[in-house]
Amino acid sequence: MASTGLVKERLRNQRIELASWSFGNTGTRFKVFPLPGAARTAYEKVDDAATVHHFTGVAPSVALHIPWDAVDDYVDLAKHAASQGMRIGAINPNLFQDEDYRLGSLCHPDPAVRAKALAHVRECLSIAESVGSGILSLWLADGTNYPGQDSMAARQERLHEGLQEIYRSLPAATRLLLEYKFFEPAFYHTDVPDWGTSYSHCLRLGERAQVLVDTGHHAPGTNIEFIVAFLLGQQRLGGFHFNSRNYADDDLMVGAADPFELFLIMREVVAAGALEGQVAFMLDQCHNIEPKVRAQIRSVMNVQEATAKALLVDEPALARAQAEGDVLGANAVLMDAFSTDVRPLLAELREDMGLDPDPMAAYLRSGHEGRIAAERGTGSQAGPAGWGYA
């Protein structure tokens, strides 16, 4: 088991990226519920992300979604972020809300639509270069809703051709992270439905193409920690979109529905020595009924707690139990770590970092929530085209 000092040091160096769209008004396909103080512009989303970082100390970057976060001057937006101790993180192209994408984007049967999608991705790569981002995060809603609607085999070839063009366009220091989702909005088949499909396409592209694991994009009962372990072993885990789900893509706060699953995922990351490195730990959540800044603070704290417990696993004892075939002993090692109350350790760490030991209480005392509610009213929707799938 690592010493308390080493555990605190590794937690101090942990970085969790926030998502801009978590701060604007979002909702279901039925209703967007406006919330007091919701961000209205990309600049306000950066401001809110900076507030989360101010109270947690480990969230210094914010991902953008284009065109939801479109601005006239991205360099100016990056300077605004830097002035608050933040940087721009992953760039996420939107290839699902335009009317032309009804039948898909990169997999669309019409070459003109595919060309339009590629042009948008190249625009996003240009934005990434201008703000100093090294990650293009790609999720496609492509798929079909009826048998016979299109050739599934042909769509896979179109997908490969499109991804190949994108990969060739990557700046030297930029990675392509390919996300997957097993259904919605395509209910007969999805073109990138699972980690294996994403992994296969990444292998065909090259080393800078890696899989992005969204923890909500799985059927109930899926063993996500196995997926993580396999991809880490193949050096193809590019990053996470952290959230939580009861059914599928619920976009609940990470660790809210199944904190044990989050612990097991982070334990695989820690065991592989991947806590510090190229794996991107990003939040991807929609706070439809709860206060947004508070929800992001709580989410960061949940990831920290799961990570702290993962760092407390007695790995030598676990290895011995596994080698001896001691099933219950091995399980007990994990359960001991998971059952540990790590909140006092994290409170000490925050005090060491010059932060309030209780980020949520400190935020509530700050009066920030009331100020942004008075300044912004009920905000505006996450993107100029309205809220949709993400």
| Residue 96 covered by a domain | yes
Query: Are 10 and 320 a contacting pair, CB within 8 Å?
Result: no
Residue 390 has pLDDT above 90, yes or no: no
| Residue 192 covered by a domain | yes
Query: Are 384 and 280 a contacting pair, CB within 8 Å?
Result: no
| Residue 316 covered by a domain | no
Two tokens, residue 132: 């100093």
| Residue 347 covered by a domain | no
| Residue 385 covered by a domain | no
Residue-wise pLDDT tens digits, 83-96: 999 999 999 999 99
pLDDT of residue 27: 84
Structure confidence at residue 378 as a pLDDT band (50, 70, 90): confident
Residue 381 has pLDDT above 80, yes or no: no
Report phi then psi at 70, rounded to 5: -65, 135
Percent over 90 (pLDDT), the chain: 92
pTM for the model stands at: 0.95
Owner of token pair 């479109």: 70
Query: Are 228 and 213 a contacting pair, CB within 8 Å?
Result: yes
Q: At what angle do helices 42-56 and 74-83 cross, to 10 degrees?
A: 20
| Residue 161 covered by a domain | yes
More confident residue, 64 or 29: 64
Query: Are 118 and 106 a contacting pair, CB within 8 Å?
Result: yes
Percent over 70 (pLDDT), the chain: 97
| Residue 260 covered by a domain | yes
What distance in Å separates the CA atoms of residue 309 and residue 262, rounded to the nearest whole number? 10
Residue-wise pLDDT tens digits, 146-178: 999 999 999 999 999 999 999 999 999 999 999
| Residue 295 covered by a domain | yes
What distance in Å separates the CA atoms of residue 54 and residue 359, rounded to the nearest whole number? 9
Mean pLDDT throughout 16-25? 96
What distance in Å separates the CA atoms of residue 305 and residue 279, rounded to the nearest whole number? 18
| Mean pLDDT for the chain overall | 95
Instruction: Specify whether the backbone of 215 is left (phi greater than 0), alpha (psi in -120 to 50) or beta.
Output: alpha
CB atoms within 10 A of CB 81: 26
pLDDT of residue 382: 57
pLDDT of residue 44: 97
Structure confidence at residue 385 as a pLDDT band (50, 70, 90): very low
Which residues face 65 on adjacent strands? 92
- Structural domains in the chain (count): 1
Query: Are 298 and 360 a contacting pair, CB within 8 Å?
Result: yes
Structure confidence at residue 265 as a pLDDT band (50, 70, 90): very high
pLDDT of residue 30: 83
Residue-wise pLDDT tens digits, 272-282: 999 999 999 99
Structure confidence at residue 1 as a pLDDT band (50, 70, 90): low
Owner of token pair 């999805």: 190
What distance in Å separates the CA atoms of residue 59 and residue 49, rounded to the nearest whole number? 8
Structural domain span for residue 166: 10-299+366-376
Dihedral (CA of 145, 149, 150, 153) sign = positive
| 355: helix, strand or coil | coil
pLDDT of residue 31: 86
Closest CA relative to residue 289, chosen from 258, 253, 245: 253
List the CATH number of the domain containing 36.
Answer: 3.20.20.150
Mean pLDDT throughout 236-258? 95
